[in-house]
Amino acid sequence: MRTWPAPNIPALPVAANLAPVRVFDSATGTLVEAAPGSIATLYACGITPYDATHLGHANTYLAFDLLQRAWLDAGKQVTYASNITDVDDPLLERAAATGVDWRELAREQTELFRADMTALRMLPPNAWVSVVAIIPDVVAAVAGMLARGEAYWVDGDVYADLSADPWFGTVAGLAASDPATLALFGERGGDPERPGKRHPLDPALWRAERPGDPSWEGGQLGRGRPGWHIECAVIARDALGLPFDIQGGGTDLRFPHHEMSSSHARLIGGGAARTHMHAGLVAYQGEKMSKSRGNLVFVSRLLADGVDPMAIRLALLFHHYREEWEWTDADLARGVECLAVWRQGVAEAHRATGLDGGVADRVVAGVRAALADDLNAPRALSLVDEWAALQSCAPGGPAAAQAVAEAIDALLGIRL
Ligand code: 5CA
Ligand code: ZN
């Protein structure tokens, strides 16, 4: 899939003693250095393109953008892969409800997402893969699972047999026998009640053609379409190789999606992500911002209203990526004000001939350290805020202005 233009990232002066980038692994509950070598691989689950891009999406993708910026600053070669779930129940239901062709809906929403990601200066994936484009690969993976006895038929559909994977449960840590686990599976796209399954949690890998549904030739699987979780296992395998460093998304993907896609990845070869990262969900009007509830604030709406995309980025960065929080107008106001203060601070520093005395270097080092510590953007922002406020009485001079502006750009993605 054609991505969007990459933002320019200024190269910062190489620093000695950079702290390693550590993130919270939600599978183990510990801070880990997820990519200790010179190469880092990331898979962040992409959108289901039927209502893009709300601030919840933007907040989650921003977490993975920060992570890549920290990795790049540490000199790593980063490969980032993502998908587009351009055929799935919610997309087809929305298309049917609004009388739009599902392909047209996906195309239009993907285009919006592209424009929003560009405006927000998000790093594009190196591989951005549409599910519709890789159906033969999914078919081959599912056929392999059937041949090895890791999958089985239920009335023409194919399901994964989770009992084939001894590590199932290690991502979300939920007990397969707990009724609450089954309920969550049902709420998030699963079918625990379906008769004929070996275990209620077993997820669909291939759905035989239903009247009115899009379908593809599936060889020995017959005509049909892929289940949800297998797409991310196949795309990650083909784009990154298995295992890879980090799989990420919002916390709603921890179970069942990442539990299941990791299980599939182990069975189709190589192993799953070594670390799982989950961003907190953004709420609006008292509930999780979600396409199915319709309580959405769209990035494109704010941009059309003339909001500076950098103010949106700052408004989100005031919240740590793991925080669960509710968007209000005050968040946007804070982003707008912060952007103005930073712009003024850099302009004041630039105009002066002041002697900085290493202040700017300490701010840059502090921002780097904050981000290396589980992407602590709020701490990074407060350091820049203090520096910007200082410039009206003790301006640092043009070199200091440039050093801070470039660090903000490279590490936080904020172009002043
Ligand atoms: N296509 C699948 C992943 S394979 C999917 O979940 N798509 S999505 O469009 O529903 O969500 C895209 C990403 O945004 C996911 O990582 C999801 O966890 C995240 N997301 C969705 N709603 C919110 C929210 N309210 N707050 C934060 N992140 C959210
Ligand atoms: Zn996914």
Which tens digit of pLDDT belongs to each residue from 181-223?
999 999 999 999 999 999 999 999 999 999 999 999 999 999 9
What's the pLDDT score for residue 251? 98
Atom of ligand 1 nearest to the CA of 232: 4
Atom of ligand 1 nearest to the CA of 59: 27
Kindly state the average pLDDT of the residues 307-326.
98
What are the pLDDT digits (tens) for 52-99? Answer: 899 999 999 999 999 999 999 999 999 999 999 999 999 999 999 999
Q: How far is the CA of 57 from the centre of ligand 1 (A)?
A: 6
What's the pLDDT score for residue 291? 76
Cβ of 249 less than 6 Å from ligand 1: yes
What's the pLDDT score for residue 85? 98
What's the pLDDT score for residue 17? 86
Mutation choice for ligand 1 from 26, 50, 54, 57, CB with most ligand atoms inside 8 A: 57
Cβ of 57 less than 6 Å from ligand 1: yes
What's the pLDDT score for residue 289? 87
Kindly state the average pLDDT of the residues 139-163.
98
What's the pLDDT score for residue 116? 98
Q: How far is the CA of 250 from the centre of ligand 1 (A)?
A: 6
What's the pLDDT score for residue 359? 96
What are the pLDDT digits (tens) for 237-285? Answer: 999 999 999 999 999 999 999 999 999 999 998 899 999 999 999 999 9
Mutation choice for ligand 1 from 47, 83, 88, 322, CB with most ligand atoms inside 8 A: 47
What's the pLDDT score for residue 49? 97
Q: How far is the CA of 47 from the centre of ligand 1 (A)?
A: 6
Ligand nearest, relative to CA of residue 46? 1
Please check the confidence at residue 294 and state whether its pLDDT lies above 90: no
**Ion ligand 2 — residues with CB < 5 Å:** 45, 232
What's the pLDDT score for residue 270? 85
In which band, very low, low, confident or very high, does the pLDDT at 303 lie, cut at 50, 70 and 90? very high
Ligand nearest, relative to CA of residue 43? 2
Kindly state the average pLDDT of the residues 34-61.
96
Mean pLDDT of the chain: 97
What's the pLDDT score for residue 201? 98
Cβ of 235 less than 6 Å from ligand 1: no
Q: How far is the CA of 114 from the centre of ligand 1 (A)?
A: 15
CA angle 14–43–327, rounded 5-degree value: 85
Please check the confidence at residue 32 and state whether its pLDDT lies above 80: yes
Kindly state the average pLDDT of the residues 385-391.
97
What's the pLDDT score for residue 8? 98
Provide, rounded to the nearest whole percent, the portion of the chain with pLDDT above 90: 94
What's the pLDDT score for residue 254? 98
Secondary structure of the chain as H, E, C letters: CCCCCCCCCCCCCCCCCCCCCEEEECCCCEEECCCCCCEEEEEECCCCCCCCCEHHHHHHHHHHHHHHHHHHHCCCEEEEEEEECCCCHHHHHHHHHHCCCHHHHHHHHHHHHHHHHHHCCCCCCCEEEEHHHHHHHHHHHHHHHHHCCCEEEECCEEEECHHHCCCCCCCCCCCCCCHHHHHHHHHCCCCCCCCCCCCCCCCEEEEECCCCCCCECCHHHCCEEECHHHHHHHHHHHHHCCCCCEEEEEHHHHHHHHHHHHHHHHHHCCCCCCEEEEECCEEECCEECCCCCCCCCEHHHHHHCCCCHHHHHHHHHCCCCCCCEECCHHHHHHHHHHHHHHHHHHHHHHHCCCCCCCHHHHHHHHHHHHHHECCCHHHHHHHHHHHHHHCCCCCCCHHHHHHHHHHHHHHHCCCC
Please check the confidence at residue 292 and state whether its pLDDT lies above 80: no
Atom of ligand 1 nearest to the CA of 90: 10
Nearest protein Cα to ligand 1, atom 9:
47
Nearest protein Cα to ligand 1, atom 20:
57
Atom of ligand 1 nearest to the CA of 49: 9
Ligand nearest, relative to CA of residue 279? 1
Please check the confidence at residue 144 and state whether its pLDDT lies above 90: yes
Cβ of 253 less than 6 Å from ligand 1: yes
Cβ of 277 less than 6 Å from ligand 1: no
Kindly state the average pLDDT of the residues 32-36.
97
Cβ of 289 less than 6 Å from ligand 1: yes
In which band, very low, low, confident or very high, does the pLDDT at 365 lie, cut at 50, 70 and 90? very high
What's the pLDDT score for residue 71? 98
What's the pLDDT score for residue 290? 83
What's the pLDDT score for residue 355? 82
Cβ of 83 less than 6 Å from ligand 1: yes
What's the pLDDT score for residue 63? 99
What's the pLDDT score for residue 29? 98
